[in-house]
Amino acid sequence: MPLFGVLPIDKRAGISSRVVVNRIERLVRSERVGHTGTLDPMATGVLLMAIGSATKLVEFSHELSKGYKATFELGKSSDTLDATGEVTDVDISVQPTAEDIQAELGKWHGRVLQVPPNFSALVVDGRRAYKMARKGVEFDLAPREVEISHLELLEYQFPLLQLNIECGSGTYVRSIGRDIAQGLGTQAIMTALTRTRVGPFTLEDCVDARGLYNRIEVQQHLHPPQRLVDNWHTVTLNEEQVIDLRNGVPLRLDDQIGRNRFAVVDTDENLVGLMEAIQEAGMFRSLRVFHADNAANQPKKIRTKQSPES
């Protein structure tokens, strides 16, 4: 039977997200594997692997909010905004106090404009920004609106400060450190980063990829695929409606008027698809469909609990 679910990994420092994908692909062989958001090699923490048909949900999983614990060093600058780049010292005339930092954090709460780092995976004129930056090509990235829902000072002992950050998709933590430091009259680099949460997944849900050795162990740690769209409303369909959905027949669901899209499950709580509204009020069509062989093999819950090791 095909695998269909989400494997949350606690990525260790020093490896790329692609390395983790490659390891899981070797374990599950013919199954498709995709991650739902890259972590830089220096970063650790929650990295979600979509397995099998759950890869159809990856583009929607990017809407999930994320949590981070990040450490920054004031009085330093680098081309990458972190410790992996070319680091230089920056003079600080007055050391910021904890009160100064708290006041500055308040300016970066809510929807704010943020300029992404040049060393990022964004596309500029058809080329990755980080590849252009490595070659010394000069370019500017436009600021864009991001959502920072929580910004908390966890620890401060000059020149190091540690923040707890809750933010929406597309937010660059390195840029948060840069912007806060500039508001304090200096610069900063990120020296450590842990992603503590992606949507409903936390570090407690994660396993170390090094502790998985075969397909069965991967299957034992899978979570239900609908957790990748945990922020969506969920509707339960009866057996006849499920059959129509899988046959491409639009459904009338008058009780969902006003919703643009939602996830649908059968009476056993198996994910069977995503639906979106069409022009006629109360009518909805399939956006993604998962067939019976997928539904029969998606996990209802985790059978094995394992604490993160990194």
**15 and 230 in contact (C-beta within 8 Å)?**
no
Which of 40, 82, 205, 266 is catalytic? The answer is 40
User: How is 3-25 classified by DSSP, letter by letter?
Assistant: -EEEEEEEEPTTS-HHHHHHHHH
Place of tokens 């269909």: 4
Give me the long-range contacts of 15-18 (CB less than 8 A, separation at least 24): 15/41, 16/41, 17/47
The three-state secondary structure class of 114 is: strand
First to last CA, the chain: 32
DSSP lists the bridge partners of residue 88 as 77
**70 and 39 in contact (C-beta within 8 Å)?**
no
Active site residue 254: no
Q: Which residues are catalytic?
A: 40
